[in-house]
Amino acid sequence: MSETRHGRVKWAALLVVALLAVGGYGLFVRTSRADRSSPGPGGPGAAAVRPVPVVAAPARVRDVGVYITGLGSVTPLNTVTLRTRVDGQLMSVRFQEGQLVNKGDLLAEIDPRPFQAQLTQFEGQLARDQALLDNARVDLERYQGLAAKDAIPRQQLDTQQSLVHQLEGAVTNDKGLIDGARVMLDYCRITSPIGGRVGLRLVDPGNIVHATDVNGIVVVTQLQPIAVVFTIPEDNIPAVLARLGHGASLQVEAYDREQQRKLSTGSLLTIDNQVDPTTGTVKLKATFPNTDNRLFSSQFVNARLLLDVQRHATVVPAAAIQRGAQGSLVYVVKADQTVTARKVTLGVADGDDVTVTAGLAAGEQVVVDGADRLRDGAAVTVQPRSGA
C-alpha cells in the first residue's frame, strides 16, 4: 500500500513539473512575439510611423500667357541672286563672303570698256545727226520765205520739211542709243538691291559671265527684319482670327530646337488662306526685328503664339501634379506636417508651371518631390529645395 501511494505522488510531481514547463514556454513565446511587434528603435514598426521627407513649394499667383505652339523655319523676307545683265569679263569682286552689306553697295564690276566705246560711238553719231538737223532747219526757214514769195516750187518746201522730220527722228534714235549704252555701263557695276548678308562667291574674278548664266555671282539674304513661317492645328484658327479681327497685335516667340532658349520676339504678320488637308494645319507668318542676328535663314525653330493672358492665375510647379483614376490631384502640406490628397482642376501650362483653376488656394504648400511615397494623412518632413 505504501509503494502504491509513493508511485502516485511521484507521477503527480512529474505532471506538475511538466505543466510548469509548458506554461513557461508559452509565456516566453508570447513575450518574444510582443517584443518583435513592438515599435522599438530601428524596427519595422518604427519605419511605418517615421515622417516621409518631401520637398514642397507654395502655390503662387501671377499672370500666365495662353500660347499656341507650332514648328516653323526662318524665312528671309527677301533673297536675291545677283546676276550680270551684260556679257563680259568679271573684273573685280568688292565683297567678303559672309559680309553684311547695305542696299546700293557695290559688289562686283564687269569690264566696261566695250560699252564705253559704244557710248562714244553713239555720242558721235548724235553730234553728226544734230548738225545735219540744224542745217536742215535753217534751209527750211529759208525755203518757207521763198515759198511765200512764190520764188520756189511748193514741192521743194515739202521735201525740205520732210528732211527735217527725218533728221529729228535720227537725233531721237541717237539719244535712245546713248541712253541704252549708259544703262549697259551702269549694269557693269553690280550693286546690292537689298541690305543683308552675302553668301559664298559663285564666280571668281577673271571669268567671262553672261546674262544667261543660271548660278549668278552671289546670293544676298535679308536678315533684318526676318520672318518665321510656322504651322498650328486647324482647331486654333477661329481663336486666332477672332483676335486679329479685333485689331490685336499678337506676339510670337521663337525658341531653339530644345525649347530651352528664346531666340527672338516678334509679331504675327498674317495667316494663310487655306488648310493643308494632309496635316490638318495652317501656316502663319511672323516677322522679327532680328537686330542681334540670332535667327538664320532656314533655321528650325519652335514658335509660340501668345493668344491671351490670364491675369492673377494660381500656378503650381508641374512636378506637383499627380494623376490617378480620380483625375489630377496634389498633396497639400497641412500645418501639423501631414499631407492631404486634394483633387484639382488644371488650366494651361506655362513653362514649368501649370495653372490651377479650382481646388487650391494661393500660398498653400504642395509636394513637388517625394509624392510617390505618400498617402492621404501621411506625416512628412519638408526639406529645403535645392538651389533655394
C-alpha cell at 284: 502663319
Q: With 80 as the cut, is the pLDDT of residue 21 above it?
A: no
Matching CATH topology for 52-67+313-383 and 86-218? Answer: no
Average pLDDT rounded to a whole number, residues 320-341: 89
Q: In this predicted structure, what is the pLDDT of residue 150? A: 85
pLDDT(48) > 80? no
Quick one: pLDDT at residue 309?
87
Phi, psi angles (nearest 5°) of residue 102: -105, 165
pLDDT of 377 > 80? The answer is yes
Interatomic CA distance for residues 292 and 223, integer angstroms: 10
Does residue 29 surpass a pLDDT of 70? no
- Among residues 212, 335, 224, the alpha carbon closest in space to that of 288 is found at 224
Q: What is the pTM of this model?
A: 0.65
Q: Please compute the mean of the pLDDT values over residues 183-188 and round it to a whole number.
A: 95
φ and ψ at 280, to 5 degrees? 70, 30
Q: What does the chain come to in residues?
A: 388
Q: 187, 200, 214, 223: which is closest to 108 by C-alpha? A: 187
Of all residues in the chain, the percent with pLDDT exceeding 70 is: 87
- The residues near 77 (Cβ < 8 Å, ≥ 6 apart) are 222, 225, 226, 227, 287
pLDDT of residue 38: 42
Residues 6+ apart with CB under 8 A from 195: 100, 101, 102, 103, 222, 224
With cell 494632309, the residue in question is 278
Output the average pLDDT for the chain. 86
Indicate the pLDDT class of residue 18, thresholds 50, 70 and 90: low
Which of these CATH numbers, 1.20.58.220, 2.60.120.10, 2.40.420.20, 2.40.40.20, describes 52-67+313-383?
Answer: 2.40.420.20
Residue 36 pLDDT exceeds 70: no
The confidence score (pLDDT) of residue 73 equals 95
- Whether 190 shows a pLDDT value over 80: the answer reads yes
Ranking 39-43, 205-209, 362-366 by mean pLDDT, the lowest is: 39-43
pLDDT tier at 47, thresholds 50, 70, 90: very low
Under CATH, which architecture does the 71-77+221-311 domain have? Beta Barrel (2.40)
Q: For residue 13, what pLDDT is reported?
A: 55
**Residue 251's pLDDT band (cuts 50, 70, 90):** very high
Q: What is the pLDDT of residue 259?
A: 85
CB atoms near residue 122 (< 10 Å): 20
Domain ranges of the chain: 1-46, 52-67+313-383, 71-77+221-311, 86-218
Of the listed ranges 32-41, 52-61, 201-210, 342-351, the one predicted with least confidence: 32-41
Burial class (CB in 10 A: 0-12, 13-18, 19+), 74: buried
Strand 380-383, strand 52-58: pairing: parallel
Q: In the prediction, which pLDDT does 327 show?
A: 87
Q: How far apart, in Å, are the Cα atoms of 23 and each of 15, 16, 20, 32?
A: 12, 11, 5, 14
Q: Are 314 and 366 in contact (CB under 8 A)?
A: no
Is residue 2 over pLDDT 60?
Answer: no
pLDDT of residue 168: 95
Q: Which one is the CATH code of 86-218: 2.40.50.100, 1.10.540.10, 3.90.1010.10, 3.30.70.250?
A: 2.40.50.100
For residue 387, the model assigns a pLDDT of 54
**pLDDT tens digit sequence for 154-181:** 898 899 999 999 999 999 999 999 999 9
Distance CA 16, CA 25 (A): 14
Q: Is the pLDDT of residue 367 over 80?
A: yes
> How far apart (Å, rounded) are the C-alpha atoms in residues 95 and 328?
61
The average pLDDT across 336-351 equals 88
